[in-house]
Structure 1
């Protein structure tokens, strides 16, 4: 099942380190089948505060997403970004094809109290 690395990246200082990070990240993702779905785009905020932007990277599965994040190649370039730009990063599995939220609601309703 497809998994995603999602980053909420705060505004920060663009400098040579950050540019080297951006230039090098694709090569760290390639061995794990990672591909950008969202990168360098403006966000349209509809609810709550959201300083910064979002990055979404798809991987074939959660194991490869974890392997990429923990890989020596990615860990070597990560400080180039984190030293200058704050943010949060999560890894999460997607839902299967045919997912229907109403089934999840029914399951939750069955276990909820009155």
Structure 2
């Protein structure tokens, strides 16, 4: 099942050189784990509900184990301070849904559990 690393980041007004170095080097840390950027910063984002003033990053992986192994890897952990010294935010690893996921079945299951 696919998994994702999601970053909701608040960059400083001006990006430091360390952030550019982080960006230049991150792909090499993703490659051994099958990671690829799906969303990076979303400059053309349309906010339809609520407010959004952060940069969104979504990286896809073949599995949650791949995402964990990437995040915990020595190569990536060496890069993390280059970002965290200049950006605050939230980062999470999360399972995706299977290709045959049916939200209607999930709703039925949750409805049944709530009325039980």
Write the distance in 2 (CA, Å) between the matches of 1:71 and 1:11.
24
C-alpha contact 1:62 1:93 (8 A) present in aligned 2: yes
Unmatched 5+ residue regions in structure 2? none
Give the TM-score taking structure 1 as reference length. Answer: 0.94
Unmatched 5+ residue regions in structure 1? none
Counterpart secondary structure, 1:28:
helix
Instruction: Tell me the alpha carbon deviations over residues 13-45 of structure 1, each in whole angstroms, 9 at most, x when there is no partner.
Output: 301100000001000000101001111322222
Give the TM-score taking structure 2 as reference length. Answer: 0.92
C-alpha contact 2:2 2:95 (8 A) present in aligned 1: yes
Partner of 1:105: 107
Q: For residue 97 of structure 1, report the CA deviation from its aligned partner.
A: 1.2
Of the three residues 77, 85, 88, the one matched with 1:86 is: 88
Runs of 4 or more, structure 1, over 3 Å off, are none
Partner of 1:21: 22
Write the distance in 2 (CA, Å) between the matches of 1:39 and 1:15.
18
Q: CA RMSD in A?
A: 1.3
For the pair 1:63 / 2:65, whether they are aligned, the reply is yes
Counterpart secondary structure, 2:75:
helix
Write the distance in 1 (CA, Å) between the matches of 2:41 and 2:114.
41
Of the three residues 76, 79, 87, the one matched with 2:78 is: 76
Instruction: Tell me the alpha carbon deviations over residues 70-102 of structure 1, each in whole angstroms, 9 at most, x when there is no partner.
Output: 111000011101110111111111111121111
Counterpart secondary structure, 1:10:
strand
C-alpha contact 2:4 2:67 (8 A) present in aligned 1: yes
